[in-house]
A and B are shown apart, each in its own frame.
Chain A
Amino acid sequence: MSDVQIITGNQAAAMAARLCNVQVVAAYPITPQSQLAEILSQYVESGSLRAEYVRVESEHSAMTVCISASTVGARVFTATSANGLLYMHEQLHWAAGSRLPIVMCVVNRGVGAPWSIFNDQQDSLSQRDTGWIQIHCRDNQEIMDSVIQAYRIAEQVYAPVMVCYDGFVLSHTMMPVHIPGANLVRSFLPPYKPHTILSPENPKNINPVLLPNPRMSAEGILCDGYMEMRYKLQKAMEDSREVIIKTSREFADAFGRDNGGMLWEYRTDDAEVILSAMGSVAAEAMAAVDQLRAEGIGAGVVGIRVFRPFPKEDVARAFRKAKAIILFEKSISYGYEGGLSSELKAAFYRTDIHAPVHDYIVGLGGRDVKARELVEAAKSSVEAIRSGTPEKHTSWLNCITE
């Protein structure tokens, strides 16, 4: 059973959380996430979602409540944006380090200062090294699908998952979305079986202080030091790639929609020019590619869906035939370049991919990104590469730089 409704990205996320039967929700309102926090509280108040909703006094406490509730043994959900996400930063490390299957929607928004409520991806990209799996959605359907998949992934690998989608562009824009039936979701996502239930039946000491070296327990078992636990998180993140791909494939079998696993491709079969991006810009790039093809340029799109773990093997395969690679990024690593650009180039190391990579910073703080602009940028890059100047400094699209 599946019905189609025309809904916003925030509505899709809230419906997905309800379909996943989350047991504890903790949230603090922030634009453009607030509608999501509102809908969930309506679900709880009306009884259509049997969950505890903790209306915390800050995002920091939102993540803390998720951490302790998840440790006790509940399936938990939260959502935030921008400065709210930054305020959580310490607790993001804590959630991942505690190996908790927390799922959070990040409704991407530019961070202050300068102050803005509008969209870019600086917030989630700044959380790269917190040990969270990061999924970036291209449309509202993918938000719905990714939240459902996120719980299955998180509860298998014991790592938290951020489901990121662009503020306003998706969060407040209505699109037709297939709403899966509750039974279908229930069979895809079995009830959460926590590895720990923190209750007096089995007293445990969670998050003790760790020392640099492994230490022997009273029972003579050598127990991890700090570094061993860090390694295990890294290993779990690396191994999560397979789980993400398998989950995406099984989701496709059950629901009839394939989100592509680590990345997705559009018209890349014979493409020489590959446009790449994350989130809604990648969707916009599909329109750009159609136009480029109409003008005789063999272009395609590789949409990076998962930013962490980084899809190293997948990009090496997806970009192998590229003669030119053009990136559109809604974030910047100050003093270097867009984050995706660095990651991709590193992934190409010792592969046969030697194509020039042109990095465009676009749409910061909500500046509109039009397919036509992507077309123009791609054409100028292709022209430069053809005329023998493949190297190009990071460009700021549609921005006064002089």
Chain B
Amino acid sequence: MTLVQNFEIFAPKLIDRKEYFSPGHRACQGCGEVLALRIILKALGDDVVISNATGCMEIISTAYPQTAWEVPYIHVAFENAAAVGSGVEAALKALRRKGRIPDRYVKSVAIAGDGGTADIGLQALSGAMERGHDLMFVCLDNEAYMNTGIQRSSETPFMAATTTSPAGKEIKGQRTGKKNVPEIMVAHGVPYVATACPSYPIDLVNKVKKAKAVKGPSYLHVFSMCPTGWRCASEITIKLGKLVVETGVFPLYEVENGKYRLTMEMPKKLRPVEDYLKHQGRFRHLSADDIKLVQKKVDYEIKKLMDKVGGLKGWDEK
């Protein structure tokens, strides 16, 4: 109760009161992705240019002549948000040098969904990160192509049912696990890589601020709950975002110059994955044995991550 009573005093110190993403957009009820976006924009502030890939966030926010965006925004197709952000950064630099725009720092931020990041957008992302643009890239991962009707992507979790990975007799949903894009970004030598989730807003804000402060490439992978696509109740969005972290299915961590750090300490004993899975229609078809299999995969991934957290030194450490 104390925390809630003091909310008006403390919250504005932690999160900007100003809205950069106006209400009245067309996102689904309980959309975790648009919540993430709202918090991210609050953490970024005014001095940004956003490059947004085609996807849910673009389509729900920009029906001409209305827009939810209060910051400069450009959309150029689906597969190239990172290249758009590269061009924005290059042009801002060129114009600033020629005195065509005020000489102050403006961050180029590219935002894409999981398809626009891990599938069709991966080449442009890899190119932009390798070139070392002063570009912050945010993946809003809702684990499938929700905008086109819940088709699987390479970020759809193991065994989840989607419209193109249906749960049938032969195959029970998605056959593969999630492509680990944060790891791919670390392999590119990106100095700041982090995972986040809007159920932990202060953690998300802190990571956005860190990513923005990097004068170079940075990458944020944000778990974005999707009641519509995951076949779950819209009022449990925040709870799902907490459960996914507490079960270790989506751990929150950051990698600064190669040094891994958990930003949400893991309990000694994680909650069983079933606590997370059971709320979602996309996992409805899983048997007790299937859930054991999922648990095994999650344990395996957690072990890999914990090995890095415990064992790897930063690139600049002696």
* Chain A complexes with chain B: yes
Q: Digit string of A65-95 for contact with B (CB within 8 Å is 1, else 0)? A: 1111111111010000000000000110010
Interface centre among A73, A199, A217 (most CB of B within 10 A): A199
Q: Digit string of B55-67 for contact with A (CB within 8 Å is 1, else 0)? A: 0001100111111
| A residues in contact with B126, CB < 8 Å | 57
Q: B100 touching A73 by the CB < 8 A rule?
A: yes
B163: shortest Cβ distance to chain A, in Å?
Answer: 22
- B92 in complex: contacting residue of A26, A57, A199, CB < 8 Å: A199
| A residues in contact with B174, CB < 8 Å | none
B303 at the interface (CB under 8 A from A): no
- B65 in complex: contacting residue of A54, A65, A73, A215, CB < 8 Å: A215
**Which residues 146-183 of B have a CB within 8 angstroms of A?**
none
| A residues in contact with B80, CB < 8 Å | 60-61, 64, 91
B3: shortest Cβ distance to chain A, in Å?
Answer: 34
Of all chain A residues, which has the CB nearest B97?
A: A50
Q: B70 touching A203 by the CB < 8 A rule?
A: yes
A61 to B86, CA, bound (A): 9
Q: Knowing A54-B131, A72-B91 are in contact, say whether A64-B73 is a contact too (CB < 8 A).
A: no
A76 to B88, CA, bound (A): 12
Q: B70 touching A57 by the CB < 8 A rule?
A: no
**Which residues 173-215 of A have a CB within 8 angstroms of B?**
197-211, 215
B48 at the interface (CB under 8 A from A): yes
**Which residues 203-250 of A have a CB within 8 angstroms of B?**
203-211, 215-218, 221, 223-224
A221 to B66, CA, bound (A): 12
A217 to B63, CA, bound (A): 11
A377 at the interface (CB under 8 A from B): no
A78 to B242, CA, bound (A): 47
B31 at the interface (CB under 8 A from A): no
Interface centre among A50, A60, A206 (most CB of B within 10 A): A206
B172: shortest Cβ distance to chain A, in Å?
Answer: 36
A73 to B96, CA, bound (A): 11
A91 to B123, CA, bound (A): 15
| B residues in contact with A65, CB < 8 Å | 83-84, 86-87, 90
B222 at the interface (CB under 8 A from A): no
Interface centre among B46, B69, B75, B91 (most CB of A within 10 A): B91
B306 at the interface (CB under 8 A from A): no
Total A residues in contact with B, Cβ cutoff 8 Å: 51
Of all chain A residues, which has the CB nearest B79?
A: A60
Q: B123 touching A24 by the CB < 8 A rule?
A: no
Of all chain A residues, which has the CB nearest B102?
A: A201
Q: A74 touching B64 by the CB < 8 A rule?
A: no
Q: Knowing A23-B95, A72-B91 are in contact, say whether A199-B106 is a contact too (CB < 8 A).
A: yes
A90 to B76, CA, bound (A): 10
Q: B63 touching A208 by the CB < 8 A rule?
A: yes
B38 at the interface (CB under 8 A from A): no
A45 at the interface (CB under 8 A from B): no
| A residues in contact with B51, CB < 8 Å | 68
| A residues in contact with B90, CB < 8 Å | 24, 26, 52, 54, 65, 69, 74
Q: B59 touching A209 by the CB < 8 A rule?
A: yes
| B residues in contact with A67, CB < 8 Å | 76, 84, 87
| A residues in contact with B131, CB < 8 Å | 54-57
Total B residues in contact with A, Cβ cutoff 8 Å: 48
Of all chain A residues, which has the CB nearest B49?
A: A198
| A residues in contact with B100, CB < 8 Å | 73, 197
A58 at the interface (CB under 8 A from B): yes
Q: A210 touching B91 by the CB < 8 A rule?
A: no
Q: Digit string of A12-34 for contact with B (CB within 8 Å is 1, else 0)? A: 00000000000110100000000
Q: Knowing A57-B124, A205-B67 are in contact, say whether A200-B84 is a contact too (CB < 8 A).
A: no
| B residues in contact with A57, CB < 8 Å | 123-124, 126-127, 130-131
Of all chain A residues, which has the CB nearest B54?
A: A209
A285 at the interface (CB under 8 A from B): no
Q: B77 touching A73 by the CB < 8 A rule?
A: no
| B residues in contact with A52, CB < 8 Å | 90-91, 93-94
A199 to B94, CA, bound (A): 13
Q: Knowing A200-B47, A208-B75 are in contact, say whether A23-B98 is a contact too (CB < 8 A).
A: yes
Q: A64 touching B74 by the CB < 8 A rule?
A: no
A306 at the interface (CB under 8 A from B): no
| B residues in contact with A125, CB < 8 Å | none
A51 at the interface (CB under 8 A from B): yes
| B residues in contact with A216, CB < 8 Å | 65
Q: A58 touching B123 by the CB < 8 A rule?
A: yes
A51: shortest Cβ distance to chain B, in Å?
Answer: 7
A55 to B132, CA, bound (A): 11
Q: B77 touching A199 by the CB < 8 A rule?
A: no
Q: Knowing A73-B91, A199-B101 are in contact, say whether A207-B76 is a contact too (CB < 8 A).
A: yes
Q: B73 touching A209 by the CB < 8 A rule?
A: no
A74 to B101, CA, bound (A): 11
A131: shortest Cβ distance to chain B, in Å?
Answer: 15
Sample of 20 more A-B contacts, CB < 8 Å, known A58-B127, A61-B80, A90-B77: A23-B91, A26-B90, A61-B127, A65-B87, A67-B84, A68-B91, A69-B90, A71-B88, A71-B91, A73-B91, A73-B95, A74-B91, A74-B94, A198-B72, A199-B72, A202-B72, A209-B58, A215-B64, A217-B65, A218-B66
Chain B residues engaging chain A, CB cutoff 8 angstroms: 46-49, 51, 58-59, 62-67, 69-77, 79-80, 83-88, 90-95, 97-98, 100-102, 106, 123-124, 126-127, 130-131
| Smallest CB-CB A-B distances: 6 pairs | A57-B127, A68-B87, A208-B62, A72-B91, A65-B87, A69-B91
16 A–B contacts, CB within 8 A, in A order = A52-B91, A57-B124, A61-B124, A65-B84, A68-B74, A69-B87, A71-B74, A72-B87, A74-B94, A198-B72, A200-B106, A201-B101, A202-B72, A207-B76, A208-B65, A208-B75
Chain A residues engaging chain B, CB cutoff 8 angstroms: 23-24, 26, 50-52, 54-58, 60-61, 64-74, 76, 90-91, 94, 98, 197-211, 215-218, 221, 223-224
